[in-house]
Amino acid sequence: MTITGRVRDAHDAYSKLPAVLWLDTLHSGRALVDSTHLFRLVAQRRGVHELHTRASGFVPRDDTIFVPVPPESSLVVTLDQQGLDGPCSGFAVVVGPPPILVGVVTDTAGHPIVSARIFIARTDHAALTGRDGHYAFSSIPDGIYTVRAQFIGFLRGEQDSVRIVHGTTRRVDFRLRPATCDIDCDPLIVPAKPKKPPL
């Protein structure tokens, strides 16, 4: 999946860029922003990703985005110059409709669960949580759904009757409980065949 967007400073100017961007880790591939102010990245999976932006003279940006970006939207990364007084004004934002379903997945102690799978029952919609346990869906048809969360070593979480309405954002959080066993609570036991006595 290809992600495209543009980079600007807080004054919507481009004179001090280029910049370099990458998703999640440097090993996933980088994109350079030159005089065109546009970038193009390839995401290997749907779901939540960390978008990292670096430019000389600007505050580094590390932002969370959801892939795929809706086709009617555009991704804009705004950078703040280093050494300026006041709070950092840099941000990455998807210009367009807001996410329609968001939430966070944690364990019983409140710690975020990374890479938990969130899926909408009886649909093809699925996502993974980011480093902070958050997830987001940008395009789900209106309706009433069952939302599920699962991660290895935890019991599956489920919330029924989740109403999705276009133009609004619904929040569904999950707190997953540890499973009582790691892999299979009901293993299939096959009796061993009796050994033949030696001749």
Domains assigned to the chain: 2-95 (2.60.40.1120), 101-176 (2.60.40.1120)
- CB hemisphere CA count around 163 (13 angstroms): 3
DSSP string, 140-154: --SEEEEEEEE-TTB
Task: Give the pLDDT of residue 181.
Answer: 56
pTM: 0.48
Task: Give the pLDDT of residue 87.
Answer: 39
Query: The tokens 């939207």 sit on which residue?
Result: 73
Task: Give the pLDDT of residue 58.
Answer: 78
Of 152, 147, 6, 136, the residue nearest 79 (C-alpha): 6
Mean pLDDT split into 10-residue runs, the chain, 199 residues = 76 61 71 71 78 80 74 69 49 53 92 93 88 84 94 94 87 92 53 64
Q: Which two tokens stand for residue 92?
A: 């990455």
The residue type at 78: T
Task: Give the pLDDT of residue 138.
Answer: 77
Task: Give the pLDDT of residue 36.
Answer: 64
Task: Give the pLDDT of residue 187.
Answer: 53
Question: What 3-state class would DSSP assign to 108?
Answer: coil
